[in-house]
Amino acid sequence: MSTTEKKSIRIALAGNANVGKSVIFNYITGLHQHIGNWPGKTVEKAEGTLYFKGHTIDVLDLPGIYSLSAFSIEERISREYIAVEKPDVVINIVDASALERNLFFTLQLLELGTPMVVALNQMDVAEGKGVTINVSELQKFLGVPVIPTIATKGVGIGKLLEKAVKVVRGKTKAKPARYGREMEEKIRKITKLVEKIPIRYPPRWVAIKLLEGDEEINKIVGGIDQKIVSNAEKHAKDLERIHGEPCSTIMTSERYNIANKIARRSQRIIPSRGPTLTEKLDAVVTHPVMGYPILIGIMLLVLFTVFTVGGYLSGFFEDMMEPIRGAFGSGAGELIGEGLIGGLIAGVAIVLPFILPFYLILTVLEDSGYLPRAAFMTDSFMHKMGIHGKAFIPFLLGYGCNVPACLGCRVMETERERTIATFVVTLVPCAAVTVVVLGLVGAYVGIHWALALYALNLVIIFILGKIAFKVLPGEPMGLIMEMPPYRKPHARSVLKETWMRVKEFVYIAFPLIIIGSVVLTGLKVGSLLEPIGDAMSPLTVGWLGLPAITGVLLIFGVLRKELTLVMLAALMGTTNFGTVLTPTQMIVFAIVVMYYIPCIATIAVLVKELRWKKAIYITVFEIAFALLLGGIAFRLLTLV
Amino acid sequence: MITESVEEYLETIYRLYERGVATTTTNIAKELKVAPASATQMLKKLAKQGYLKYTPYRGVTLTAKGKRTGKEILRKHRVMEKFLGTLGIPKSKIHKEACELEHHIPHDLERAIYQKVEGEKPLPPGAPSDVVPLTSLLDGQKGVISFIGGGRGASQRLADLGLTPRTEITVIKSALFRGPLLISVRGTTLAIGRGVASRIFVRAK
């Protein structure tokens, strides 16, 4: 993307979740898009470029949010961007079928005073619900252009862009809506004070946020002039005395009153006679009896498909790449062959084939609207481990691979909930751990012992999750989630979304897998493995009662946990593990492998999602916990 | 004449019952911050007076009489909390003060205060003020939000999604195993966890 064009226009897309925002984004930016993170934040930042009638337009897709109240990281990022970076125009995407709730957000965008165009999207869905909207009436109330669109069919998008460009050229600013008389009086008084201080935000908006008691704005303004903050607090108290509610609630009610008035005056609703398709489906899918078999059926189907497709792809890639590995000989060549190429093969042939189908199915489920239903059905179960229904999907993902599972924890809104969910997810035994548990304990000690280890794991997750829930500071947050209507997944969006997710995963995981692989091969070539194994023997032999060689295995396991088993076979020169390990040793070893550390790719994601400090805490805790549990198991099992 | 501590016990047991928490002696003692032994003694006494059934090691179930009294005190408590809130009394003190006042408010005074804080049309004499947590509504039942308790984050989130005071909501259904509630508000459908829902207080319709 070149930045030399002088006519480059910056558009930001803003709106609630589930209104077709990403469909519009994908539609207008085509392949010219890239996805990353907001600087220093674990929130997705999607940007794209398009060329439209001689203009270069940079489009930024803001996260889907319901408010600008700074409740979540997403909300804070969005308002910071609109207020400070000031895009040339904001396109507010509004769901025509839920006008009132969407207009509540529109009113908040208007408060920020940036030039704006409203895309009245999902007109077809609204029609299906018996809603007809008088567009010109709505436009009059809002004071900004309103363009009806059906994004999934591309209807109205050209007109929308045209209008957006026109608004930028005309430099027309949106006019904030007016609230109740006493409220406006307070806002005016505080705005006057705010206008005198140097601040990057629109003064009227700052005044409103001060009245609401917004922590972030309070801090910023307080840093310049504490008197303004205390003055605003006094005004807020006045309002609270009259209304008997916190000022932020009064403000929210006020906005909703206006949104309600506008919605009522600009739409006609002829309620449909029978139940809608969503209602009919929900009656079955969230049914207390029928809902659970459906949930389990869908999850089994997902796992089955992922493992079948993944297994096939994995074999295919491995056959293709294996010859390259051997071509480098030993010694220094081994560093390239075993280390570099071996690491790459691990990524391409072992991890990627499972991630790709998984993301594809996940995106389809997400797009269809089933995931919120799954969260609804599993909420009470998830509560037992200190998290709520929204974490069900990441939790389930964990059984496949911890990496996408940790990424999936982004659906949790608050930092606290996200941390707990991510921690819990790293305790879930992934497919690689399953290989070890089944291959060792399941095959040589007995399948009931393997199942017992899984049951124990679940108990441990419940306990540790609950402890994390109690220990972590902050306000615990239960499930509050919108249930969007069911939709037919939009093929183009699904494919693009999957592609972006896979790309993101490759960027995080591949470098680490390859570096790790090179380092370990280096240790092997330099014959450093045995000294390391010996150095670890007080722990492995003394405390855990395992053969000294397992120290080396555990180091390799950091890379990929199934390597512990592969290496055991290689180092012992046999695949009949019954001859080299006692049943007790097998169980202890499996337990340690299950908990001892998130693998290197998972640690990388932890750093990315939770920053270094928490990632180190989790890693160190899990090593200590695995050793403790393994040692206890060893002592108990030898007693038996 | 019922003593204050009897009222306090019945209110607490009723609150636990409403929240769906098991009314065991341990839970009741913990909620009231008293020793389990003294709670046991009191519960036995209440059983004798016909307010509840007491089974050793199992806990208690309120009789109709017990429920009526417990509900009434809890209602008075909530009305007083709301009232004290409008006076600008700090949140930290409100609960404690309401605990004191609830035992001394006659019915007609309660009704007057209720009307004052809710700003509703006068209730017919004798009608109970029926502010209940959302969780006590039946499937398909409607309610009008009176107030939302709990932390600032959750109540702000709920308000942002359209759950502001005086808004009508319909409970569509609640999930099994004390799962979340499916509700309809302002033309949208939301899932609300049971813990969150128990802090949304509505006037049932």
Whether B149 contacts chain A with CB within 8 A: no
Give the domains, in start order, of chain B with CATH numbers. 4-66 (1.10.10.10), 72-118 (1.10.60), 131-204 (2.30.30.90)
**A376 vs B86: CB contact, 8 Å cut-off?**
no
What burial letters (b/e) apply to A600-632, b meaning 16+ CB within 10 Å?
bbbbbbbbbbbeeebbeebbeebbeebbebbbe
**B188 vs A240: CB contact, 8 Å cut-off?**
no
Q: Which of B121, B189, B134, B181 is nearest to A275 (CA)?
A: B189
> B89: nearest CA in chain A?
A241
Q: How far apart are CA A144 and CA A92, in angstroms?
A: 10
Per-residue pLDDT at A48:
86
Does pLDDT of B72 surpass 50?
yes
The residues, any chain, with a CB within 8 Å of residue A24's CB and separated by 6 or more, are A13, A91, A93, A119, A121, A149, A151, A157, A160
Nearest to B193 among A241, A286, A479 (CB): A479
Which chain B residues contact residue A260 at CB under 8 A?
A: 186
- Classify residue A540 by burial, with Cβ atoms within 10 Å: 0-12, 13-18, 19+: buried
Q: How far apart are CA B197 and CA B150, in angstroms?
A: 10
Q: With beta carbons less than 8 A apart as the criterion, state whether A109 and A66 touch.
A: no
Whether B193 contacts chain A with CB within 8 A: yes
Substitution target in B80, B86, B160 with the highest count of A β-carbons within 10 Å is B160
**A71 vs B156: CB contact, 8 Å cut-off?**
yes
pLDDT tens-digit readout, A119-168? 999 888 888 888 889 999 898 888 899 999 998 888 889 999 999 988 88
pLDDT tens-digit readout, B107-132? 767 777 876 776 544 443 333 456 77
Per-residue pLDDT at A544:
86
Smallest CA–CA distance, residue B195 to chain A, in Å, is: 7
**A379 vs B180: CB contact, 8 Å cut-off?**
yes
The residues, any chain, with a CB within 8 Å of residue A61's CB and separated by 6 or more, are A13, A21, A22, A25, A46, A47, A48
Q: How far apart are CA A581 and CA A78, in angstroms?
A: 56
At A172, list the tokens.
């027309």
CA atoms within 13 A on the CB side of A366: 21
- Classify residue A520 by burial, with Cβ atoms within 10 Å: 0-12, 13-18, 19+: buried
CB atoms within 10 A of CB B56: 9
Which chain A residues contact residue B164 at CB under 8 A?
A: 249, 252-253, 256
pLDDT class of B166 with cuts at 50, 70, 90: confident
Enumerate residues 100 to 129 of chain A having a beta carbon within 8 A of any beta carbon in chain B.
100-101, 104
**B159 vs A482: CB contact, 8 Å cut-off?**
no
Q: Which of A373, A376, A411, A289 is nearest to B180 (CA)?
A: A376
> A95: nearest CA in chain B?
B188
**B191 vs A478: CB contact, 8 Å cut-off?**
no
The strand pair at B188-192 and B200-204 is best described as unpaired
**B193 vs A388: CB contact, 8 Å cut-off?**
yes
**B152 vs A475: CB contact, 8 Å cut-off?**
yes
**B193 vs A69: CB contact, 8 Å cut-off?**
no
The strand pair at B131-133 and B200-204 is best described as antiparallel
Query: Cα–chain-centroid distance for residue A394?
Result: 9
DSSP secondary-structure letter at B158? Answer: H
Q: With beta carbons less than 8 A apart as the criterion, state whether A210 and A190 touch.
A: yes
φ/ψ bin of A156: left (φ > 0), alpha (ψ from -120 to 50), beta (otherwise): left
Task: Read off the pTM.
Answer: 0.73
The single residue listed with the structure tokens 């206008």 is A195
Smallest CA–CA distance, residue B149 to chain A, in Å, is: 11
Enumerate residues 440 to 479 of chain A having a beta carbon within 8 A of any beta carbon in chain B.
475-479
In chain B, alpha helices (H): 4-19, 25-32, 36-48, 64-86, 91-101, 107-118, 152-160, 194-197
Per-residue pLDDT at B128:
41
Whether B156 contacts chain A with CB within 8 A: yes
Enumerate residues 88 to 147 of chain B having a beta carbon within 8 A of any beta carbon in chain A.
88, 117, 147
Smallest CA–CA distance, residue B18 to chain A, in Å, is: 18
Domain ranges of chain A: 9-170, 181-269, 292-434+493-516, 523-639
Q: SS3 breakdown of chain A: % helix, strand, coil, rounded to 5?
A: 70, 10, 25
Per-residue pLDDT at A131:
87
pLDDT class of B1 with cuts at 50, 70, 90: low
**B175 vs A99: CB contact, 8 Å cut-off?**
no
Smallest CA–CA distance, residue B158 to chain A, in Å, is: 7
The strand pair at A131-133 and A89-95 is best described as unpaired
Nearest to B182 among A376, A383, A388 (CB): A376
Smallest CA–CA distance, residue A270 to chain B, in Å, is: 13
Per-residue pLDDT at A256:
93
What φ, ψ does residue B23 adopt, rounded to 5°?
Answer: -90, 65
Q: With beta carbons less than 8 A apart as the criterion, state whether A106 and A134 touch.
A: no
**A253 vs B194: CB contact, 8 Å cut-off?**
no
Nearest to A249 among B164, B177, B193 (CB): B164
Which chain A residues contact residue B173 at CB under 8 A?
A: 286
| H or E stretch at A314 | helix A291-326
C-beta contacts of A1-8 below 8 A and 24+ residues apart: A1/A32, A1/A49, A1/A58, A5/A56, A7/A54, A7/A55, A7/A56, A8/A55, A8/A56, A8/A57, A8/A58
The residues, any chain, with a CB within 8 Å of residue A575's CB and separated by 6 or more, are A569
Nearest to B154 among A66, A381, A477 (CB): A477
> A236: nearest CA in chain B?
B88
Enumerate residues 376 to 435 of chain A having a beta carbon within 8 A of any beta carbon in chain B.
376-377, 379-381, 383, 388-389, 413-414
Cα distances from B33 to residues A406, B40, B61, in angstroms, run 40, 13, 20
pLDDT tens-digit readout, A423-449? 999 999 987 888 788 888 888 888 888
Nearest to A480 among B85, B154, B176 (CB): B154
Classify domain A9-170 by CATH number.
3.40.50.300
Q: How far apart are CA A148 and CA A156, in angstroms?
A: 6
Whether A323 contacts chain B with CB within 8 A: no
Substitution target in A262, A266, A379, A383 with the highest count of B β-carbons within 10 Å is A379
User: What is this model's ipTM?
Assistant: 0.79
Smallest CA–CA distance, residue B22 to chain A, in Å, is: 16
**A479 vs B180: CB contact, 8 Å cut-off?**
yes
At A177, list the tokens.
């809506």
Q: With beta carbons less than 8 A apart as the criterion, state whether A96 and B189 touch.
A: no
Per-residue pLDDT at A91:
94
Parts of chain A with a pLDDT under 50: 1-5
Q: With beta carbons less than 8 A apart as the criterion, state whether A379 and A479 touch.
A: yes
**A71 vs B177: CB contact, 8 Å cut-off?**
no
The single residue listed with the structure tokens 């004449």 is B1
What CATH topology corresponds to A181-269? Answer: Helix Hairpins (1.10.287)
Q: Which residues pair with A11 in a beta bridge?
A: A59, A89
Whether B189 contacts chain A with CB within 8 A: yes
Enumerate residues 9 to 38 of chain A having a beta carbon within 8 A of any beta carbon in chain B.
none
**B157 vs A380: CB contact, 8 Å cut-off?**
no
Q: How far apart are CA A289 and CA A286, in angstroms?
A: 8
Q: How far apart are CA A17 and CA A74, in angstroms?
A: 11
Smallest CA–CA distance, residue A590 to chain B, in Å, is: 33
Per-residue pLDDT at B119:
58
**B187 vs A480: CB contact, 8 Å cut-off?**
no
Q: With beta carbons less than 8 A apart as the criterion, state whether B51 and B62 touch.
A: yes
Supply the angle between the helices A203-212 and A99-111 in degrees, to the nearest 10. 120
